Amino acid sequence: MTTITPVETDASERERGDYEEVAVPVLVIGAGAAGARTAIALAEHGIDSLVIGKRDHGDAHTVWAAGGINAALGSLDPEDDWAIHAADTIDEGHHLNDPTAVETVTRAMPDRIRELDAWGTEFARTPDGTIDQRYFGAQSFRRTCFVGDRTGEAILDTLVGRAQELEIPYRENVMVTELLSDGERVYGAAAYDMEDGHEILFRASHVVLAAGGFSALWSRHSSREDENTGDGPALALEAGADLLDVEFVQFHPTGMVADDEWDDDWNGRLVTEAVRGEGGRLYNADGERFMERYSPDQMELDARDVVARAIQAEVDAGRGTDNGGVYLDISHRDRSFLKERLPRMYERFQSLGVDLAAEPVEIAPTAHYTMGGVDVDFTTGETGVDRLYAVGETTAGVHGANRLGGNSLAETVALGKIVGDHIATAYAPQRTDPLPERIRAAAEHEFDRLAALAAADGGESPQELIEELGELLWDHAGIRRDGPSLADGRAALADLRERARHVGVAGDHTGRPFEFAVDLGFMLTLADVILRTAARRTESRGAHYRTDYPERDPDWRRNVLVTRDGEDLRLSTRTPGTPSERVQRALDEGYELDYHHLE
């Protein structure tokens, strides 16, 4: 992909420092579906933006969202509607969701699906030509639209194609290390080019964070090693924005367990929920279909947190595999069915010597999605810092204590449009102002820090510290937590932080050790927040399970906010809002999936 040059470069100011300076009305940090949809909305209003990403154009974490995207189209179940979708989302989120965020997304999604369809996304079709929909965990009706098991990839391809039609500028292989903010307003970002190492000062009237979540902090996770490392939330926190509900991390029930003959890179890689949505069954090492013990009505299609804990309970009881997993079996389905409905999964396992149509696969829970993130106003995407916005997995609010499968892609396209529309109509930015000298000085100080980091010759390996951090969080803030273990985790983290002051990079800005060292800074910030907020929430709710507080506490129907207070963090709580009357009626009706439709 050819890199398009920035909108505006001020060469005279660039000479003031040994860095490139780029000026743009709106800077979008993150090139997945959320960032792309935001930029498209801006362009449709005639507003210039620049999208920057850490990887090649079109290569974003969105492609890993395989199973589908939710919208109450009613293709197969006409009784479904957006309010029931909202009720399912709130029930799955254990009533910690921001009701405005939920209703905004669920109302918008039928139009967003029709828009993607018109732009070329090749959704699966029913025999009569309407968009097909499949069952997904904890949903009352079939409302998950899909493109086989490559839905995220197909949607991102569509959005990138639309962005190219609109000639939206894009810069790839650029990593932001700091937002330029005085705590009240954001002015741009400091970054570096990952290919040649030069530093970049982005000057922007508005900044949109669409940089993903932080699931890669855990040792077993479904992300690639260089994605979901907490960039977005950490950047926002340091810039003056609040974080919300960071203790809630979704452990997807079905991550791959690496066989001795496979590369360890497969460990934790996601086996899409679509496998269970199409009838996949879970068995322990004794051959028992164990979900009958934990959820006899919804079985394998109960909420992700329920299924993940059930798997862990089987392993803890000695009924797991030697590798600490269980088996997922869909071999009762015809081979032709699997090739049509789950082509990516079928091909992946075939390449590893496993026949999905003839044998089960070994799986275990894996850190997959972070419900917590930046606190935003979901009618605009605004954070508490003027001109700074956030969208996608970087934010919190839509999912509450646990995410409904199929809602992650929905959130990106629904809220991406809202943020872009708001910036364009409320501000119509067409230019950037000169940087205040104190902000320029802060950028140059950051570049000095990066240079010192590149030259660091300590004895600690950044990559090894990241691996140790992953084990620390898995052990102390994993699927099952308790107060003493969380306290031990904080003590261990303090030691890790001290060791991180003595990393060895001894290279330049283009090497992997330098990238790992930058990632480590973000990850340590988020790890501290996770351990603190998990200790603060003395109950079990959704994806947050405390063995010392195993019940949900109605008095804890509160969100946990994290605010930067000088060098420390301050935690506070607030109560979520109430749903609209229509959504409350849907909640009161108690809609629920009848799993046995699949039998």
Q: Can you give the length of the chain in residues?
A: 599
Residues in Cβ contact with 341 at an 8 Å cutoff, skipping those fewer than 6 apart? 134, 148, 149, 274, 278
The active-site residue out of 95, 142, 143, 252 is 252
Backbone region of residue 293 per phi and psi (left: phi > 0; alpha: psi in -120 to 50; beta: other values): alpha
Identify which of 369, 98, 393, 104 has the alpha carbon closest to the alpha carbon of residue 236.
Answer: 393
- Give whole-number Cα distances, 556 to 193, 397, 560, 573, in Å: 45, 16, 10, 9
Residue 559, φ and ψ in degrees, nearest 5: -90, 150
Active site residue 94: no
Of the candidates 85, 203, 220, 276, the residue annotated as catalytic is 276
Asked if 221 is an active-site residue, the reply is no
Q: CA of 174: how far to CAs of 267, 417, 466, 513, in Å?
A: 28, 24, 21, 16
How would DSSP label each residue in 132-165? P-B--TT-SS--EE-STT-HHHHHHHHHHHHHHH
b/e 558-567 (16+ beta carbons within 10 angstroms → b): bbbbbbbeee
Shortest CA distance to 460 belongs to which of 495, 431, 485?
495
* β pairing state of 395-396 and 373-375: parallel
Helices (H), 32-119: 33-44, 82-92, 99-119
Active site residues: 252, 276
